[in-house]
Amino acid sequence: MKAHLMFRNRDFIVRKHPDGEMEQLIADLELARILEHMSRQDKIVQGVCREALLHPLMAREEVGYRQECVADALENPKIVRMLYQITINTETRRKKTWSWFSPHYLAGTFSSAVRLLGLYLEMLMELRMVADRHLEGLRSEGFRNLMILLQEELDDAYFARAKGQIDDLKKSDGTLISTQIGNYLQGVHYVLRKKEGKGHWKKWFFTPSYTVDARDDAGAKDMDKRRERAINEATNALAQATDHLEGFFTMLRRELAFFIGCINLSETVGEAGMPLCMPVLEAMEMRDRSWQELYDVSLLLLKGSKVVGNDLDVKCKSLYLITGANQGGKTTFLRSMGQAQLMAQCGMFVGARAFSAPIRRGVFTHFKQEEDKNLRSGKLDEELHRMSGIVDQLDAHALVLLNESFAATNEREGSEISRQITKALVESKMEVFSVTHLFTYAASFATEKGVQFLRAERLENRERTFRILCGEPLRSVFGEDLYHKIFAGESEPFTEGGTLPAVVSQR
Amino acid sequence: MRELENPEHRRTLTAFSKEVHFLGRSMEEIRKRLQTGNRQSQGYLERGHMMDYAQRYCDAMEKLRRALAEAGVRATGMRGLVQYLGAYMDSEGYQELQREVKALREGFSRVEYCMLIRSGTIRVRRYEGEKDYSKQILATFEKFRQGDVKDYRHALTEEPVAAHVEDAVLHLVSKHYKELFHELDLFFSKFIQFEDETILRFSKEIQFYITWLDFVDPLKAKGLPFNYPRMCHSKEELHAEACFDIALAADGRKEIVTNDIHLTERERILVITGPNQGGKTTYARMLGTVHHLASVGLSVPGKEATLMVFDNIHTHFGKEEDLTTQDGKLQDDLVRLHRILTSATDRSLLIINEIFTSTTLDDAVTLGWLMMEKIIQLRSLTIVVTFLDELATCGETVVSLMSTVEEEDPLIRTYKILRKPPDGLAYAMHIAKKHRLTYDALRRRLEK
């Protein structure tokens, strides 16, 4: 039995050892905070959502299936939470009744397994009842199919049969074993047999018998071993059955976890009063992007109040060069973009009023690392090494986000390196968003096709709006602004704008 | 022996020999129990064992005959064996044994019974198609399967714990299968002594050859040569090419370095000096083992060899490490040496390894000289491993050998033992130079 909520026809797998390379992506896009609010400290939800976010779907059909389930879950949070709670309760109760499946004591394993199966049957019944009561209210293919599956597979007849078997195993009215003859006539191939109800006792009453003497220790031990050999297979069957059920509940919990994450996040964002929307994803070959009020979800979660969003509507672009004032919201913008792309491609909503973008073959970030003057000489080397690592992973139609990359040298060199890398990426069918203060680099693309220039807005009075608008790069950079801001009011330098960019607030 | 070098033959014979030997011993035990009137031997389990042994015996015979026929044999000894086997296996007695075992086995393979065990009492009936519980359980819960699960089965032995209970159960079973068990009784008394004496003896004696060849085979596979040496008397020259120490080779951990042995008619004493860990003891041991193996008629390590027929091997291996008993050690050394030198003859092989390490150098040299004199007089074939260079130059019957090192890096041993006059100091200087501790080097270093 499979839940198939994440995919129409396959399981959702959470790998045991997530690769470390993704850590950089999580850090650059500040995904940790998003995951934190999705999971609300549930490790399973955390793991599943992380896996889903970091492994974007590439097929629009798959995205559609999951989007439908997410929408259903957001409309029926109570039902989804109820189902999820059953999986948690099962786990809690299992741990309580758990007595270790001893590798030495077969009879112990036997009775533990019988007890556990009883518990699982109870929990299955609870699932069935949820399905009976709430199938009507659900409308997504995924959730409806799950409910119907529970109803069909776990009908009354099934419960009766399973319960009958378990009750029978709890009885202690003798062990029936079939035996064949071994090479020197010893009994081999013991098989535990079912005692057929009626006539069983009558039939056996008059058969010849042998009774072990009360003082015969070896004989008594032999009797125990006989029983052990007979229940060996049956114990295995029982223990494996509990494994199957444990696996079933684990699978169900895993499949539901993502939707719990979505419900949690949408509640939190909703409270902060920012919009969420189901994105529209176009085919990979497309190069159009359009969005309204796209914002950095992570920044919102940090602040807990409204943040600035950006609008865009462009066609046939594959390179976005973002320039403009320092501390002007460029990095935040880049993050909001990366987050939205990942969230969209895992079937989630995105932080925007509307969002439409092509599917991308993965999102890759190359962000400038914290400055460290001492290591300046090795820094460009480190950056290029990191870039080379990313290039190893790239396939056509990947999304590459560059943030002040290769600036750890003088403008001329940095620009030339950046230019060559960027040009090569774009011509290899990558989509590139590049935040830079390297004027020479940005300007070198002025006459190219498919390039969109964006610029952090600055008002006449030097105030920043943290909005990113269309605009060509300007020769001078606004570092002076920062200088002024920091040195103007010594006490609280950042209060006037009211909104703090994430970069500053961290320092 | 050489026919047995054919691995095909050897495998067949090894298996056969082991099996028949085991069966012979087991039947012996059964008969012993029967004679002493042991209650166990009256039981069906014992009969079952006997039937099993008889079947295995027949199987082993069959297999041997088939294998030998397929492989074809040439040596007279082996042809005799094949002939004997044929006659024996065609005999009426053997044929009958084989037939009856087969019939019994078929009968028992159809037996299937049910035990109902309830608090110390076992009841037995024929199996009547009762349902397999495990399968039912699995079928009920199979649908929740998400992937592979652990196997919880314990590896339980199918051997009965208490033979008397198993026997009792068999008696209950016999009431449901009266005829079959009656046949078994008849078989038991009729064939209580089914094994053939000649076959048993053969299976025992062949072991000696097989064991040696099995031991040598993996070494040969590694490219180490073995040969059947020419044996000569003490007055001739001795010779062994590309020889190696079989104990070290069997250990398998180290790359084996081969060494040659060559002694003219006059030369009787080998004195080995040179750096430690250089293969001196190994060389001495090699000389001893090669001679020993040759004397019992086995193949020996090396490409080819001419070895001496000896009356005895005397060894004296000193234990350098044991410092606590130093006082008694010199005395002990001398007592042992005395015993050896009094019993050795000119046809003996003496191996003396690191003697007199527990006394002063002067003492050791003096004692060494005395020992050498004795040995030279004896004209025994002798190998002396020592740190005393002096012993290597005691006359024309003495050959000096040295363990050697790489010229560039004196810390690397070549494990080659070569004819060379002793020069212990040269090695020490090599090491010193490497560590820049020679006089000049140390002066220069200290000047700064």
Which residues, listed in sequence order, are joined to residue A281 by a DSSP beta bridge? Answer: A357
* Residue A184 to residue B45, Cβ atoms within 8 A: yes
* Residue A204 to residue B123, Cβ atoms within 8 A: yes
* Residue A193 to residue B44, Cβ atoms within 8 A: no
User: Which residue among A103, A194, A248 sits closest to B130, beta carbon to beta carbon?
Assistant: A194
Query: Residue B228 pLDDT more than 80?
Result: yes
For residues B221 and B217, give the distance between their C-alpha atoms in angstroms, rounded to a whole number.
6
* Residue A236 to residue B152, Cβ atoms within 8 A: yes
* Residue B150 to residue A181, Cβ atoms within 8 A: no
Work out the minimum CA distance from B49 to partner chain A, whole angstroms: 5
* Residue A208 to residue B123, Cβ atoms within 8 A: yes
* Residue B116 to residue A204, Cβ atoms within 8 A: yes
* Residue A207 to residue B124, Cβ atoms within 8 A: yes
Which of A184, A211, A216 is best to mutate for the B interface (most B CBs within 10 A)?
A: A184
Work out the minimum CA distance from B17 to partner chain A, whole angstroms: 21
Inter-chain Cβ pairs, chain A and chain B, closer than 8 A: 216
Tokens describing residue B435: 């560590």
Which residues of A222-370 form beta strands (DSSP E)?
280-282, 289-294, 310-314, 319-324, 354-358, 363-367
| Residues in chain B within 8 Å Cβ distance of A117 | 141
Is residue B399 a contact partner of residue B267, using CB atoms and an 8 Å limit?
A: yes
Q: What is the ipTM of this complex?
A: 0.74
Which residues, listed in sequence order, are joined to residue B290 by a DSSP beta bridge? Answer: none
User: Which residue among A178, A194, A227 sits closest to B117, beta carbon to beta carbon?
Assistant: A227
What dihedral angle (degrees, nearest 10) is formed by the CA atoms of B318, B319, B320, B322? -140
How do residues B56-101 score in pLDDT, each as one tens digit? 999 999 998 888 888 777 777 778 888 888 899 999 999 999 999 9
Is residue B323 a contact partner of residue B349, using CB atoms and an 8 Å limit?
A: no
Sign of CA dihedral A280, A281, A285, A288: positive
Work out the minimum CA distance from B133 to partner chain A, whole angstroms: 5
* Residue B143 to residue A1, Cβ atoms within 8 A: yes
For residues A466 and A310, give the distance between their C-alpha atoms in angstroms, rounded to a whole number.
9
* Residue A193 to residue B121, Cβ atoms within 8 A: no
Is residue A418 a contact partner of residue A434, using CB atoms and an 8 Å limit?
A: yes
- pLDDT score at A300: 95
* Residue A165 to residue B140, Cβ atoms within 8 A: yes
Question: What is the pTM for the complete model shown?
Answer: 0.63
| Encoded amino acid at A485, one letter | K
| Residues in chain B within 8 Å Cβ distance of A234 | 133-134, 137
Which of B134, B159, B185 is best to mutate for the A interface (most A CBs within 10 A)?
A: B134
Work out the minimum CA distance from B207 to partner chain A, whole angstroms: 27
Task: Going residue by residue through chain A, which has 507 residues, state the pLDDT in tens, using 9 for 90 and above.
Answer: 899 999 999 999 888 776 666 888 999 999 999 999 999 999 999 999 999 999 999 999 999 999 999 999 999 999 999 999 999 999 999 888 766 666 677 888 888 888 899 999 999 999 999 999 999 999 999 999 999 999 999 999 999 999 988 888 887 778 899 999 988 989 899 999 988 766 777 778 778 889 988 888 888 888 888 888 888 888 888 888 999 999 999 999 999 999 999 999 999 999 999 999 999 999 999 999 999 999 999 999 999 888 999 999 999 999 999 988 777 789 999 999 999 999 999 999 999 999 999 999 999 998 987 654 444 444 666 777 778 878 888 888 999 999 988 776 556 667 778 888 888 888 888 999 999 888 878 888 988 899 999 998 877 777 778 888 888 887 654 444 545 555 454 444 444 443 433 333 333
Alpha helix positions (H), A394-498: 411-427, 439-443, 479-488
